[in-house]
Structure 1
Amino acid sequence: MYDKRKFYVDGQWVDPLKANDFQVVNPATENPIAVISMGSTSDIDRAVAAAKRSFASYSETTIDERIWLLEKLLLIYKNRYNEMAQLITLELGAPITMSIEQQTHVGVGHLHGFIDALKNHKSCEVLPNGDTVRREPIGVCGLITPWNWPINQIALKVVPALAAGCTCVLKPSEFTPLNAMLYAEMIHEAGFPAGSFNLVTGEGAECGSALSRHKDIDMMSFTGSTRAGIAVSKDSADTVKRVTLELGGKSPNLVFADSDYEELVPATIRECFNNSGQSCDAPTRMLVERSIYDKVLGIAENIGLETKVGDPQSEGVHIGPLVSHIQFDRVQALIQAGIDEGARLLVGGVGKPQGFEVGYFAKPTIFADVDNSMRIAREEVFGPVLAIMPFDAEDEAIIVANDTPYGLAAYVQTGDADRAERVSARLRAGMVHINGAPHRYGSPFGGFKQSGNGREGGAFGLEDFLEIKTIHRPSAA
Structure 2
Amino acid sequence: MENFINGMWTKPRSEQYADVFNPCTGEVIETFACSNIEDVNEALHVANLAFKNWKKTPVAQRAVLQHKAATLMRQNAERLANSLASELGRPLAGCFTEISRSADLLDFYAEEGLRMKGEIPLHNLEGEKALIVREAIGVVVAITPFNYPITLLVMKLGAALMAGCTVVAKPSEDTPISTLILAEIFMEAGYPPGVFNVLTGWGYEIGNALIEHPITAKIAFTGGTSTGKRIGATAAMHNKRITLELGGQSPAIVCEDADITTAVIAIVRHAFANSGQFCYRVNRVYVHKTKYQAFLAQAVALAQKLKLGNPHSNADMGPIVNQKIYQNSEAQVLDALEKGATVLTGGQRLRGEEYDKGWYFPPTIISDTNHSMKIMTEETFGPVVGIMPFETNEEAIALANDSEYGLAAYVFSEQVGTGLRMAESLEAGSVWINNISRSYHDVPFGGVKQSGIGREKGHYGIEAYTELKTIYLNY
How does the TM-score come out when normalised to structure 1?
Answer: 0.96
Which amino acid is the alignment partner of residue 442 of structure 2? G
1:208 maps to: 207
- Paired with 2:226 and 2:138, the residues of 1 have a C-alpha distance of 26
Which amino acid is the alignment partner of residue 125 of structure 1? E
Kept in 1: contact 2:6–2:46 (CA 8 A): yes
- Paired with 1:306 and 1:266, the residues of 2 have a C-alpha distance of 12
Q: How does 1:40-79 map to 2 (within 5 A)?
A: 40-79=36-75
Q: Return 435-444 or 188-197, whichever deviates more.
A: 435-444
Unaligned runs of 5+ in 1: none
Q: CA deviation at 1:351?
A: 2.4
- Paired with 2:328 and 2:400, the residues of 1 have a C-alpha distance of 24
Q: CA deviation at 1:333?
A: 1.7
1:331 maps to: 329
- Paired with 2:305 and 2:152, the residues of 1 have a C-alpha distance of 31
SS at match of 2:381: coil
2:451 maps to: 451
Q: What CA deviation, in whole Å up to 9, does each residue of 1:59-105 have, x standing for no partner?
A: 111111101110111111111011111111000000012212x3222
1:108 maps to: 103
1:157 maps to: 156
SS at match of 2:450: helix
Q: How does 1:67-466 map to 2 (within 5 A)?
A: 67-100=63-96, 102-122=97-117, 124-129=118-123, 130-314=129-313, 316-354=314-352, 355-438=354-437, 439-466=439-466
- Paired with 2:99 and 2:28, the residues of 1 have a C-alpha distance of 22
Q: CA deviation at 1:260?
A: 1.2
Q: CA deviation at 1:437?
A: 4.5
1:37 maps to: 33
Q: CA deviation at 1:235?
A: 2.1
SS at match of 1:207: helix
Give the CA RMSD over aligned residues: 1.3
2:126 maps to: none
SS at match of 2:282: coil
Q: Return 204-213 or 149-158, whichever deviates more.
A: 204-213
SS at match of 1:87: helix
- Paired with 1:148 and 1:452, the residues of 2 have a C-alpha distance of 17
Unaligned runs of 5+ in 2: 124-128
SS at match of 2:320: coil
- Paired with 2:462 and 2:199, the residues of 1 have a C-alpha distance of 23
- Paired with 2:380 and 2:46, the residues of 1 have a C-alpha distance of 39
Which amino acid is the alignment partner of residue 87 of structure 1? S
- Paired with 1:413 and 1:88, the residues of 2 have a C-alpha distance of 33
- Paired with 2:157 and 2:350, the residues of 1 have a C-alpha distance of 37
Which amino acid is the alignment partner of residue 349 of structure 1? G
Kept in 2: contact 1:106–1:151 (CA 8 A): no
**How much identity, in percent, do the aligned residues show?**
36
Q: Return 56-65 or 329-338, whichever deviates more.
A: 329-338
Q: CA deviation at 1:239?
A: 1.2
Kept in 2: contact 1:110–1:458 (CA 8 A): no
Which amino acid is the alignment partner of residue 293 of structure 2? D
- Paired with 1:58 and 1:266, the residues of 2 have a C-alpha distance of 47
- Paired with 1:222 and 1:89, the residues of 2 have a C-alpha distance of 23
- Paired with 1:255 and 1:70, the residues of 2 have a C-alpha distance of 42
SS at match of 1:329: helix
Q: CA deviation at 1:157?
A: 1.0
Q: Return 371-380 or 180-189, whichever deviates more.
A: 371-380
Q: CA deviation at 1:204?
A: 4.3
Which amino acid is the alignment partner of residue 159 of structure 2? P
1:20 maps to: 16
- Paired with 1:230 and 1:461, the residues of 2 have a C-alpha distance of 21
SS at match of 2:95: helix
SS at match of 2:318: coil
- Paired with 1:267 and 1:20, the residues of 2 have a C-alpha distance of 46
Q: Return 128-137 or 400-409, whichever deviates more.
A: 128-137
- Paired with 1:377 and 1:455, the residues of 2 have a C-alpha distance of 26
C-alpha change, 1:258 and 1:385, in structure 2 (3 Å) is same
Q: How does 1:466-477 map to 2 (within 5 A)?
A: 466-474=466-474
Q: What CA deviation, in whole Å up to 9, does each residue of 1:99-126 have, x standing for no partner?
A: 12x322221221122122112211x221
